[in-house]
Amino acid sequence: MSQVMIIVFELGSPEVNSARVTKLIKNNPKWARLTDSAFLITSNRSPAEVRDSIKVALMPGDKIFVGSSPAPSAWRGLSDEISKWIHANQKE
């Protein structure tokens, strides 16, 4: 069953591998970019499997967190488009 997950990362050299990390995250059929280094995705995979699919682009010292993000959530300052994505995909 598909679930919403949050991916947060911190790259030591974003100018080197940010595009690669972002591309791997965007390979998921449904995603929303929350900030420069945080995404929501939907996936049938486990958080560890999602992490492993992205870590091939990480360099030593880079950090990543992938976790389940069930409803409810709260936010401020996100676009209407992102808010609609969250409401449509993160169901209780």
Q: pLDDT tens for residues 32-86? A: 999 999 999 999 999 999 999 999 999 999 999 999 999 999 999 999 999 999 9
pLDDT at 92 over 80: no
* Amino acid at residue number 55: K
Question: Which range marks the domain in which residue 38 is found?
Answer: 3-89
Indicate the number of domains in the chain: 1
CATH number at residue 32: 3.30.70.240
- Which residues have CB under 8 Å from 69's CB, separation 6+? 3, 4, 5, 6, 40, 90
Query: What pLDDT score was predicted for residue 14?
Result: 87
Q: Tell me the whole-structure pTM to 2 decimals.
A: 0.94
Euclidean distance between CA atoms 20 and 57, whole angstroms: 6
Q: Is 18:82 a contact under the CB 8 Å cutoff?
A: no
